[in-house]
Structure 1
């Protein structure tokens, strides 16, 4: 589930499924999308903070849950895709607190954040190609912009993990926090929320620039991702992954 609270202008979105390493279900994606979309029109929400639990931010998609959704509706209509679109359209600043695993979408959503704080045990990885898939959330565009082609290839195509230290060097993480990363992230979110909201929104929009190309890339990734789900090598990779989980 997603635990949602509003404290002094900060909407806290806590991923709360620790028994499954915070793997995201369709219902959780729906809650996240609802919250981000609400922030665009609610003046009481001045900043979003996404966090998880000690040692786990999120293990990414719950693959079994996703395949159930994908089998019933077009991929473009799934809750995860609604969440990805909401990320692009989010108008309020977004802060993340990462402790432990940040896998798949747990990595790519960080590229949309304005501030990212990580504990020393953060483990950032995107195994899309290993599953016969392609990067999502616009990461195929944002990754090279953020860290250069070679480093983005290493993360998004090779699937090599990033430590907190390496992620900080590459610009994916703002600060490594030794103790209580959530508190530090919340303090930052409170600082953002305390500033003049219109000036903050306009300044963020200037920094982000035109998001048209990003929206187009997200849609292109969605189309390719959907096609890949029926590719023989993807089916084989998913079967191997699910067998390994059951073992």
Structure 2
């Protein structure tokens, strides 16, 4: 469900569950987390690319799978939190290619990327509050930093849908292009060809101290877990699942 490959210093992580709109399972999170973690100390990896399938980046969590391992409310040792920690602590440049849906974590993970390419049909939405939940992946810090409070509130709290043009205007996307895979790979190969130590140091300087961000990810996860058992969240999930097409 996650295709992994290494091409000329570029580690490619492709979500491959198009029949379920690339909804992320615990196993998928684990594979991606492991790739980011091992890449930190692997000199053969100079850049990561995260991509999906034509027409869909990811619809976010596979809710049924997520509730199996996170329904108890403690997210500290779950695959999703391992992935969020890994992407926040990733030391190699990260490029994303987004075509179609980028829902929930499909949007918030982009805030950890160094370059994001989106197709004109890309759709960004974070329905956390609609489900009685709160933003995750450090987006409560990164969102305002990237796009300002007003736009971050619009995306993360109101749950408004951003199209590719709006996401580019907000600073979430670098470029809107027709062939996102080709553009992302061209960028990743250019990154991989540069002096790796100079790239690593420059990226670290740009990103600054990540201690507060890492702490925020843990705090968001704690609150997120607590919210899972709240009456309004339970009601919101039941309403969502009742509307969800079967099969």
TM-superposition CA deviations, 1:48-84 (whole Å, max 9, x none): 0000011100000000000001136831111000000
Partner residue, 2:18: 18
Aligned length: 246
Inter-partner Cα distance in structure 2 for 1:30 and 1:73: 19
Partner in structure 2 of residue 53 of structure 1:
53
The 2-side partners of 1:246 and 1:162 are apart by: 24
- CA displacement at 1:107 relative to structure 2: 0.3
Post-superposition Cα deviations, 1:136-165, rounded to whole Å, max 9, x if no partner, equal 000000000111111000000000011100
2:31 aligned with 1:38, yes or no?
no
Q: CA deviation at 1:101?
A: 0.2
Alignment correspondent of 1:193: 192
Find out whether 1:244 has 2:239 as its counterpart: no
1:163-242 matched pairs, under 5 angstroms: 163-178=163-178, 180-242=179-241
Q: Which runs of 4 or more aligned residues in structure 1 lie more than 4 Å from their structure 2 counterparts after TM superposition?
A: none
Note if contact 2:73-2:226 (Cα within 8 Å) is conserved in structure 1: no
Distance 1:13 1:217 in 2: 26
The aligned counterpart of 1:84 is 84
SS of residue matched to 2:244: helix
Secondary structure of the 2:12 match is strand
Partner of 1:137: 137
Q: Map 1:106-125; keep pairs closer than 5 Å.
A: 106-125=106-125
Q: CA RMSD in A?
A: 1.0
Distance 1:77 1:66 in 2: 13
For 2:209 and 2:73, the matched residues in 1 are separated by 31
CA separation of 1:28 and 1:74: change in aligned 2, threshold 3 A: same
TM-score after normalising by structure 2: 0.98
SS class of match (1:235): helix
**TM-score, structure 1 length as denominator?**
0.98
Measure the CA separation in 2 of the matches of 1:153 and 1:68: 30
